[in-house]
Structure 1
Amino acid sequence: MIRLSPNGRGTALRFDASSVSPGKLIERLLGALAPNMRLATPPDAPALWFDPQRIRHSTRGARRLLGPVADPGAPLSSLLEAFAAQDRKLSEEPEHALAERLRRLAERGEPFRRRVRLSDGRNYDVEGAPSGPLCVLLIRDVHDECEALERARAAQLRAEGEVALLRAALDRVPVPVWREDEAGAPHWRNAAAEATPQPEAPAEPVRIPGAPGAAFVGRAPPAPAGPDGSLRIYADTVAETFAHLRVGLAIYDANRRLILHNPAMAEIFGAKPEWLANRPSLRETLDRLREARRLPEQADYPAWRAALFTLFDDPAHARYEDVWELPDGRGVHVVGRPHPLGGIAFMFEDFTESMALQRWRSTAVEVRRATLDMLGEGVVVFGSDGQTRIANPACRAIWGLDAPFGPDPAASLPPHVADFAEACARGGDAAATLWRRIRDAVSGGGGRSVWRGRVDLADGRTLDARVAPMPDGSTLAAFTDVTDGVRVAAALRERAEALEAAAAMRDALVDQLSHRLRTPLNAIFGFAQMLHSGRAGPLSPQQAEYLEAVERAAGLLLEGVEHMSELISTHDPQRPVRRPPDLSGPPHEIGACRRRTGAGKA
């Protein structure tokens, strides 16, 4: 027994020398020693121990990561070949390749440490070093650390870019700005501060806390004095406010010259900002926009322009509002109001989309109303508050609501569902029941489900009614006058019943006639056969001729009966069709034909 006790812990190996070969003994010994010779690493971390010929020991993590080439006993050449294939994929230089460094470690004991990307696409730190009689290879997964490092580098680059951008922006500020360190000494200045040899801190500095012990210090610009300074502050405030709005702004002074505009005004009319910056007059602005077809077409343009000029005769009371429909199809809402410092401020709002939406909505409403008016079905819609929204002419005609309703002659419809129900109650109890159901559906007491039914009015008309909820909370009621259809159906039923009765009477009559005719005919044919047979004695030639005439006449009568039966059978499919007998032959053939057709039966 061999016992190893590193750090107070022991590992025991028992073996029987008579049953273990020397090679197996060495492998067991290395397997017991290898875990105690490894570097500091987690128990399941990828690690393996090897000599120049083969792998002696490996952890589960190493076998899971590298596969069969890391199994104990596997030749080292297999591991080298696997690393060489990986090096070729990564285009590694030969002397820095992982396979070459591993070979040097196994042959010369040269330690190394490298960061590589293995076949699973993750980054690993690979460290190899001699460990007693063997060499140890430790592999540590650092993929997450690499990604975190890349993110930190990207964040640093972004921060550096933002710092450079902020410094460039501060260089354009006409106010001296500099940054002080912990001792209070400036170590960065903007362009305005660089222009001043020794910038002094203002009496009322503007300090922006920065890093610990540092601050940005700036000199606030002095407020302009006098009316010109106030005007400039007001103009700057208005320009900054309206620069971000979609509503165009153009302010003209008392001399009708442009003193302020925002970018939206230039965008709406397609004017160049450089030209507007030259402060054109109102006449120049209108003429230029007219040339560019950015103004509404006017039959008398000079008169229209002169009407705008008259606003400046009394700017304090000027009021202007109009919709300019431009040639390109756009609509611009123009509002002119007095400016506090004199002149007139014009505001331009491009409401093309709103106008198109309003037109589409108006068209949709008109199409819907025309569609409802053309329907033969009566339709009425009640809002969630019970007010009457829509009622087409068919509905008014069905319920007799063509006369004005109430004291207002223009009110041709009951304003509320209760008024509607009261006006239609003269249709009888069935109509009153129907409108109670409609009122319950509008108020929500009858639920919000679809209802269908048929109603018979007191005046003899019949209606198919349907009540259905609408998505916006309103309720639709539809009525179809099916009186004509019901009457036609009733008439058809009566006709069918009359035809069935007539057919029954005809069949009874035919049966009676057939029975009453066949009975004497059977007797005639019977006696004629008996006389022909000689049972009553011999017949003279004249008697035989008379007997044949009797039989022929009886046959003709039987043929008529058969034809009548066949005619009846064409209207009654259940009756069999019978062929009439051929009575043109001799008397004995006539008797045979009579027997075949069943004429002998009563």
Structure 2
Amino acid sequence: MFGKAGTGMLTNMILALALVATSVAAALIALLLVSVLRSRQQPRPRIADTAPALEPTVFLFDDRTLVDATAPAWALLQATPVRGDEWSRLSAFLAPRFENFEARMGRLAEEVVIELAGSGDAPLRLRAEYHEGLARITLSDLTSEGQAVLVDGMSQRALEDEVTSLRKAVDSAPILVWREDARGDIVWANRAYLLQSGALEAEDELTWPLPALFEAAPDAKADPTVRRARIERNGKAPLWFDCHSLPAADGSLHYALPADTAVSAEISLREFVQTLTKTFAELPIGLAIFDRQRQLQLFNPALIDLTTLGADFLSARPTLFAFLDRLRDARMMPEPKDYSSWRQKMAELEKAAASGRFEETWALPSGQTYRVTGRPHPEGAVAFLIEDISSEVSLTRRFRSELELSQAVIDAMDEAIAVFSTAGVLILSNRGYAHLWGTDPGTTLGEVGIGEAMKTWEAQGNPDPVWAEARDFVTEIGPRASWEANAGLRDGRSVACRFVPLAGGATLAGFRAIGEAPARRDAPASRAGTAGQKARAAAV
């Protein structure tokens, strides 16, 4: 259909089109390779480079009423732990971070524009502008200016939960916690401190600046010890606290633990010790109390008088062995034979006193006599009581001497004497009584009553109603009259008996042996037994 010329032209056209297509494809492939190579050579853009700028923190106030705020501003107010209106919450956050914040903001209408720079590890910058009755406050974080900060949602949530938990823990603490800056101004406090100081006038109202409850604390770095402080209250007992101060960044952190119970216990203990001291001061007995380390902790004035040890020596709280050594040097204790045995004895004395078994009588070279008693006390303490019993010993010796003299007097009497108590117990007899009746009541271990004495009389004498009358007379209660009678003995002699009532219901029985048995000299009524005794009692 087409001639040879047409066929040649068609072939040339096809070849030209093929050449053009090949060139275009090669160009496209070259462009693609160049693009891939450039993409590998150039760094990929960072997320921070493509992130949008952070929204500023801006507040718009009409006096104390918040008119508008940006999202970060609302988030800041929500994160503030203080309750109240928006201005109170913002002031609680900004006042610790900007010096004279309240005073400067009070002059905003006059100055129109105020710029404040904060201090600390994360300083803030504040710009306040006044226009047509409205105050625009802008906050900037100087540490993050020009940077974009991205935090993933889970990390932000974890941080917020931790902050919320810590805030609740601190606000719920039953102790007072507050923080002071380098100038000593209180920049933060927990709820317990706010309530105690009255800074929370109502549930939702907070006054600023925060009042100081305690006097200025010492430098926490120089003096980290605990100090006792109190809060005075009108018409009420003061509140006591143990204050702990710790150094912190740009200031100090303080904790006040309630100490009312401890102070009350200390006051009670002090009053108790004062009462004991006054009581011990009036005691004539010397008192020395040694603690578990055997150091003198308490003594009274009587100890100074009895031991002649100086008050300066006792006030120095000597040990027990130093105390005993000083007593030995002052010759206020028995002189030992040798020092080593004396030390051993003192060690045994200390052990015996600790177990409550020590009691000794010290005869001093001066002629005085001391009774020393050791008593254990709680917590391993030991108390020693030193009592001057010289007068008591002297009285006992004099009484014993008088008894011996009285016994010698009645032993020298020819008449046999026996004295019976109100209960009818033989309490005194002489040598003549033992010789007459053949028995010595003084050698008998047990008591000798009127019944046993009557049996002795009857065994040595003839049957006679005198013995029964004597028994009834000794045990009779009430007014009595003296009477006499004679009775015969088995050896043929007779004995003259007399019975005399003594003071206190006692009775004296006297017997005198007679060589020949005389007639009875007592009244007939005396031989009438009990009836005769009652008649004599009635006569008295």
Tell me the TM-score normalised to structure 2 length: 0.43
Task: Compare relative contact order (CA 8 Å, sep 6+) and give the higher one, 1 or 2.
Answer: 2
The answer to which structure has the higher strand fraction is: 2
The answer to which structure has the higher helix fraction is: 1
